[in-house]
Chain A
Amino acid sequence: MSYDKFSILISPAVPLPIENVDTDQIIPARFLKAVERKGFGDNLFRDWRYDRNDQPKSDFVLNNPLYAGKILVGGKNFGSGSSREHAAWAIYDYGFRVVVSSFFADIFKNNALNNGLLPVVVSPDFLQKIFDTIEKDPTAAFKVDLQAQTFTIVATGESAAFEINPYKKHCLLNGLDDIDYLVSLKEKIARFENQRL
């Protein structure tokens, strides 16, 4: 999948202080029927965002005009459950470029990285600090620097380093995906197959 290159992002953040946000909440199964990768953002957090009559629920953060931005901050174990990549597509399509949590489910993390959505893991304490900062000032800005691998609360300058696999970092910085690389290995793959016969 092609996606935009990522380098530095400065943006306010949207808080979702709930643990174990599973991919069924991020995008419910009934919205997985598309055969193209389009429009998933409309149904992001569908059942938390809209009531049964498709009216926005005023108590859900995405419907609260106070909060906006390209960074989504979630509670621990974000993205658990189903492997549906639609979850990463929906978050990206909605306009987020970064998801922050103290802990991500494995498949979600891979899916996010494969789609130009940067998962940033911070310590539980720092995560709480981010939530507190947003609570005090919903417009507070955060800076994500992929090259330096840092996440910074702009107002206070407090910063946390985050880990990312160097290969995936390279891909994100350059907007590359894995398929071209794998296809370039075809001969080697064929040799491997022959050796095993």
Chain B
Amino acid sequence: MTAKTLFDKIWDSHVIEQVKGGPDVLYIDKHLIHEVTSPVAFLGLEKRGLKVFRPENTIATPDHNVPTIDQHLTIQEELSRHQVEMLTRNCEKHGIQLCGLNHPWHGIVHVIGPELGITQPGMTIVCGDSHTSTHGAFGAVAFGIGTSEVEMVLASQCILQPKPKRMRITVNGQLKEGVTAKDIALYIISRISTSGGTGHFVEFAGSAIRSLTMEGRMTVCNMSIECGARGGLIAPDETTFAYVKGREYAPKGADWDKALAYWKTLHSDEEAVFDTEYHFDAADIEPMITYGTNPGMGTGVTSSIPTSDGLSGSDKFTFEKSLAYMGYSPGDKLLGKPVDYVFVGSCTNGRIEDLRAFAQFIKGKQKAPSVTAWIVPGSKQVEKAAREEGLVEILEEAGFKLRQPGCSACLAMNDDKIPEGKYAISTSNRNFEGRQGPGARTLLASPLTAAAAAVTGVISDPREFAGF
């Protein structure tokens, strides 16, 4: 038998057939849906007179549009309310499990999947959302799809998909203090660019990756899409199994033993060949921050913005356009630049460990008066844990407030919009023009770097503070 990568093992075992000269028909184990990318798919299905083929394999949550305060009231904004109502109606009609607003399992789709044990090693998982790559942290083949493909999955539990190439990114060594999973992700993207992974599925490997918790691994896989990759995954190990065990949807009893035996086979064979390989040293990574309008425009927080020397043509034009949007000049030092907003949340960094890291950092300090902060848990369960652990008190003593779960300022479809021209340090994943509101200027960073800015009001190095 030829040696296989982890990705090949999972993908190949889900191929139902190969279309002649075309893509694979890939069977999908779990399908996650939310209110924004599903309504047109349901409409398409109904126009064809089709039913959902396997309703038990789809799970739904409204996250993109929902307000993050007063969730017990009806959603004020009419179009958002309508989308959320459509999701409810479509789920009722087709027998799909819905974790609706105020449900104890409600939250961002990529936070609740793992949290409920829906996400398991060896699965194929899709969702009409590019950050579906998050679930790859469990050793699953998980990727974002478009609405036509959502309709395919609803209609047949399969999609047509060309098989991506294989890439491995190995990060060995020990992370320095104050350097987190988010910094690894931003570092990799800054090195290989936002299109470096295009056409590939990435396996993350190496001792620095292994040493991460499941939540840290999710952060890394979440951001894999930002280097253009179709998705990212990490071979499951004891850390993975311990995380999954006992969760709502996790296999129990004899099923668990059977599943575990299978999961233990899920790793790339020693001889397996990757189309592309990268190696990085964890010791080279600093707390990272972005200064431009794509996630590849990032650098160590103590560095300066690069100059356009050596760039020409459309590269130069694009670089200058980006800095002009940000209101920055080439060569500027990043430390000390003002920050108006702090957003901690999203499917990248809205889990309990992120809130813990933020709370520990700001404990005993005060929010800078010039800063507006939105601390948004990724799910109801994260919110509950934050309360039970006393994080809410720590936040409130320092002048912060915990909001309610949703995507919030990650994409600003609800009211949480950064005003035009303002600078926001954000733990989310995209710093595109207008992503956090028309004219908003986004600086991507880890919860720690966000915390440092939250108490100083300027871009700061989290390692400069006591405790580091």
Out of B39, B164, B413, name the residue touching A106 (CB < 8 Å). B164
Asked if residues B148 and A178 are in contact (CB atoms below 8 Å), the reply is yes
Residue of B86, B128, B194, B432 with most partner-chain A CB within 10 A: B432
Cβ contacts under 8 Å, A37 to chain B: 40, 43
The answer to whether A182 and B152 touch (CB under 8 A), given A47-B434, A105-B195, A167-B19, is yes
With contact pairs A83-B130, A107-B144 given, residues A35 and B195 touching in the complex (Cβ less than 8 Å): no
Q: Please provide the chain B residues from 137 to 176 with a CB less than 8 Å away from any CB of chain A in the complex.
A: 144-149, 151-152, 155-162, 164
Q: Which residues of B contact A28 (CB under 8 A)?
A: 434, 438
Contact residue among B19, B80, B157 (Cβ-Cβ distance under 8 Å from A33): B80
Instruction: Say yes or no: A29-B411 contact (C-beta < 8 A), given A114-B146, A188-B17.
Output: yes
* B235 CB-CB contact with A under 8 Å: no
B430 CB, min distance to chain A CBs, angstroms = 6
B198 A103 Cβ-Cβ under 8 A = yes
9-residue interface stretch from B274-282, B315-323, B352-360, B454-462? B315-323
Give the Cβ gap from A132 to chain B, nearest Cβ, in Å. Answer: 12
Which of chain A's residues 78-122 have a Cβ closer than 8 Å to chain B? 80-86, 88, 103, 105-107, 110-111, 114-115
Complex contact B83–A1 (CB within 8 A): no
Whether A145 sits at the interface, judged by CB under 8 Å, is no
Choice from A166, A183, A186 contacting B22 with Cβ under 8 Å: A166
| Bound Cα distance from A10 to B234, whole angstroms | 47
Check A85–B147 contact: CB distance below 8 A: yes
Among B39, B162, B434, the one with the most A-chain Cβ atoms within 10 Å of its Cβ is: B434
Question: Within 8 Å CB of B230, what residues of A?
Answer: 106-107
Cβ B22 vs Cβ A179 within 8 A:
no
Q: Is A43 an interface residue (CB 8 A)?
A: no
Could you tell me if B129 and A32 are in contact, using CB atoms closer than 8 angstroms?
no
A93–B187 alpha-carbon span in the complex (Å): 38
Chain A, 113-152, contact with B by CB distance < 8 Å: what is the 0/1 string?
0110000000000001000000000000000000000000
| Complex-state Cα separation, A34 to B43, whole angstroms | 12
Chain A residues positioned under 8 Å from B129 (CB to CB): 82-83
Given A81-B130, A189-B157, A1 and B148 touching (CB < 8 A)?
yes
CB pair A103 B434 closer than 8 Å = no
Chain B count of residues within 8 A CB distance of the other chain: 69
Size class of the contact patch on chain A: 35 or more
Assembly CA distance A18 to B317 (angstroms): 8
Hey, which chain A residues are within 8 Å of B17, CB to CB? 185, 188
Of the candidates B86, B152, B432, the one whose C-beta lies within 8 Å of that of A179 is: B152
Shortest distance from the beta carbon of B230 to any chain A beta carbon, whole Å? 5
B266 to chain A, nearest CB (A): 15
- Pick from A25, A35, A47, A115 the residue with the most CB of B within 10 Å: A35
How far is it, in angstroms, between the C-alpha of A166 and the C-alpha of B129 when the chains are bound?
27
Q: A81-B430, A165-B21 are in contact. Are A18 and B156 (CB under 8 A)?
A: no
Q: Is the C-beta of B100 less than 8 angstroms from some C-beta in chain A?
A: no
B434 near A24: Cβ-Cβ < 8 Å = yes
Residues of A within 8 A of B145 (CB): 83, 107, 110
A111 and B228 contacting across the interface, CB-CB below 8 Å: no
Known contacts A115-B148, A177-B148: A182-B25 contact under CB 8 Å:
yes
The answer to whether B16 and A35 have CB atoms under 8 Å apart is: no
Tell me, in angstroms, the Cα distance from A189 to B161 when the chains sit together: 16
B24: shortest Cβ distance to chain A, in Å? 11
For the complex, give the distance between the alpha carbons of A32 and B130 in Å: 15
Q: A188 to chain B: which residues have CB within 8 Å? A: 16-17
Q: Return chain A residues, CB-CB under 8 Å to B399.
A: none
- On whether the beta carbons of A24 and B435 are closer than 8 Å, the reply is yes
In the complex, what distance in Å separates the CA atom of A19 from the CA atom of B146?
22
Given contacts A22-B432, A32-B413, A82-B130, contact A167 B16 (CB under 8 A): no
B37 and A84 within 8 A (CB): yes
Asked if B245 CB lies within 8 Å of chain A CBs, one says no
Instruction: Report A29-73 residues with CB < 8 Å from chain B CB.
Output: 29-30, 32-37, 47, 52
B20 within 8 A of partner (CB): yes
Please provide the chain B residues from 333 to 371 with a CB less than 8 Å away from any CB of chain A in the complex.
none
Question: Within 8 Å of chain B (Cβ to Cβ): is A20?
Answer: yes
A183-B155 contact given A33-B65, A114-B148, CB 8 Å threshold: yes
Q: Contacts A80-B195, A83-B145, A167-B22 hold; do A22 and B294 have CB atoms under 8 A apart?
A: yes
Closest chain-A Cβ to B21's Cβ sits at a distance in Å of 4
CB distance from B292 to the nearest CB of A (A): 10
User: Is A36 in contact with B43, judged by CB distance below 8 angstroms?
Assistant: yes
Let me know if A189 and B144 touch, CB within 8 A. Answer: no
Measured between beta carbons, the chain A residues less than 8 angstroms from B146 are 83-85, 88, 107, 110-111, 114
Cα A18 to Cα B420 in complex, Å, equals: 22
A81 and B159 alpha carbons, distance in the complex (Å): 21
Tell me which residues across on chain B come within 8 A of A178, comparing CB atoms: 148, 152, 160
Contacts of B161 in A (CB 8 A): 110
A residues less than 8 Å from B390 (CB atoms): none
Does B23 make an interface contact (CB < 8 A)?
yes
Which residues in A have their C-beta under 8 angstroms from that of B80?
A: 33
Chain B residues with CB under 8 Å of A192's CB are 16, 27
Q: How far is the CA of A182 from the CA of B16 in the complex (A)?
A: 11
B50 close to chain A: CB less than 8 A: yes
Q: A25-B434, A115-B148, A185-B17 are in contact. List 14 more A-B contacts (CB 8 A).
A: A24-B434, A33-B79, A35-B86, A84-B36, A85-B40, A105-B228, A106-B228, A107-B230, A167-B22, A167-B160, A178-B152, A183-B155, A183-B156, A189-B53
Listed from nearest, the 4 A-B pairs whose CB atoms lie closest are A167-B22, A166-B21, A85-B146, A33-B79
26 pairs of residues in contact across A and B, judged by CB atoms under 8 Å: A20-B195, A25-B433, A30-B412, A32-B64, A33-B36, A33-B80, A33-B82, A34-B79, A52-B420, A77-B194, A80-B195, A82-B130, A83-B130, A83-B144, A86-B147, A103-B195, A103-B198, A107-B230, A166-B21, A166-B22, A178-B152, A179-B50, A182-B25, A182-B152, A188-B17, A189-B16
